[in-house]
Amino acid sequence: MINASQAEQILETAELIHSEQKVVQTVHRLAAEITRELSQQQPLVLCVMRGAVIFTGQLLPQLRFPLDFDFVHLTRYGDALKGGEICWHVEPRECIKNRVILVLDDILDEGVTLAAIRDKVLENGAKAFYSAVLAEKQTGRPKPFQADFTGLTVPDRYVFGFGMDIHGAWRNLPAIYAVKD
């Protein structure tokens, strides 16, 4: 965690990558795509805590079909800037056997976290697995996972805002920023 002064300094030196308007338009587009694909399946939607909470909160009201909701909490980052080992804090609590699952996450970085969620969900008997991410990082490296629904692309830099944090701060920003190289 950082203090308020340090957080302000980070924001002052950051680069705006996607404006609030662009993020809002993207969430609206994703809602339409997800509705076309899943509106007849009453999926169980799993929010990946904590990063996807703002994305999920903005997306769910735009999904005009019945769904069930739960969350998972796992991390590779903690407060670090680089991913490490996966640490599960909360697994799905709703029964997922024979269910269509839609996982919502903030960012597809290396794909390791979403691949782990997919594997766990399918091992526990899900009928189908879908995923939607607000952003995908353009790493230039192969990923073990590709999202079914992708919002924005971001550069291969540390990004924050709209649910994504930097040292625990700035999840609450309505736009997406990147730390300057």
Query: Considering the domain boundaries, does residue 63 fall inside one?
Result: yes
Average pLDDT over residues 103-127: 92
Give the residue with greater pLDDT, 173 vs 82.
173
Query: Considering the domain boundaries, does residue 179 fall inside one?
Result: no
For 86-148, what is the HEC assignment? CEEEECCCCCCCCCEEEEEEEEECCCHHHHHHHHHHHHCCCCEEEEEEEEEECCCCCCCCCCC
pLDDT confidence band for 92 (50 / 70 / 90):
confident
Structure tokens, 127: 């009928």
Mean pLDDT score across all residues of the chain: 91
Question: What is the CA angle 168-91-144, rounded to 5?
Answer: 75
What is the per-residue pLDDT for 93? 67
Position 79 pLDDT exceeds 80: no
What is the per-residue pLDDT for 113? 86
pLDDT tens digits along 137-169: 998 888 888 999 999 999 999 999 999 999 999
What is the per-residue pLDDT for 145? 87
Query: Considering the domain boundaries, does residue 106 fall inside one?
Result: yes
Query: Considering the domain boundaries, does residue 73 fall inside one?
Result: yes
Query: Considering the domain boundaries, does residue 163 fall inside one?
Result: yes
Position 97 pLDDT exceeds 80: yes
What is the per-residue pLDDT for 181? 76
Query: Considering the domain boundaries, does residue 8 fall inside one?
Result: no
* In contact, 161 and 4? CB cutoff 8 Å: no
pLDDT confidence band for 115 (50 / 70 / 90):
very high
What is the per-residue pLDDT for 1? 81
Structure tokens, 23: 């993020």
| Residue type at position 49 | M
Average pLDDT over residues 4-27: 96
Query: Considering the domain boundaries, does residue 149 fall inside one?
Result: yes
Q: CATH number for the domain including 135?
A: 3.40.50.2020
Position 83 pLDDT exceeds 70: no
What is the per-residue pLDDT for 88? 67
Look at the chain and report how many structural domains it folds into.
1
Domain that holds residue 96: 17-167
Rounded-to-integer distance, Cα 63 and Cα 32, Å: 8
Query: Considering the domain boundaries, does residue 12 fall inside one?
Result: no
What is the per-residue pLDDT for 170? 96
Question: What is the CA angle 49-54-56, rounded to 5?
Answer: 75
* In contact, 86 and 73? CB cutoff 8 Å: no
Position 94 pLDDT exceeds 80: no
